[in-house]
Amino acid sequence: MLVLASQSPRRRELLERAGISFVVRTADIDESVQDGEAPQQYVRRLAARKAMAVPRGSEECVLAADTTVVLGDEILGKPADAADAVRMLTALAGRSHEVITGICLRYRQDLFIDASVTRVHFAPMSAAEIDAYVATGEPMDKAGAYGIQGLASRYITSIEGCYFNVVGLPVSLVCRYLGKIGLL
């Protein structure tokens, strides 16, 4: 049995659409970035901490993930408030950035930790467009203050890499690991 260590409705939906059965168990962890921590290190560390924090049975596999948006050297997590969302979207508009998702599968005595990187190209946005998008509330629970699968889709000109990674879970990468351990 797969245990999803995430409250994300997007991750649940992606697993369901891929035909993967799972149960949800979550635990709260500190998601602060450590001094000098690189973005890939950060998401891998959080995924591993989430996987270790969730109880499991002896034959259960825990899947945890963490997604962040990286613009230059800045990690853009979930916005603290509307003003923070406006700040992030203003910085992203008309530029390219990376979305990085770290995954961890905890099965028996093993931890499988990996990450997926997707480059996203954002169209320019006016201040009025940014304000209108933030007013919808959609950016508030998403890394980088946007959801590629929602209203922000009108501003994404192209991506390089896995679309599902940007939504919050690199499904094909997860499935490769589930296959390796015999759960798929």
Active site residues per annotation: 66
Cβ atoms within 10 A of the Cβ of 17, count? 10
Q: CA 16, CA 11: separation in Å to the nearest integer?
A: 9
Structure tokens at 116: 């997926």
Q: CA 173, CA 105: separation in Å to the nearest integer?
A: 11
Structure tokens at 166: 């940007």
CA dihedral 24, 27, 30, 32 (to 10 degrees): 0
Q: CA 178, CA 17: separation in Å to the nearest integer?
A: 16
Nearest to 48 by CA among 21, 74, 23, 29: 29
Nearest to 178 by CA among 43, 25, 15: 15
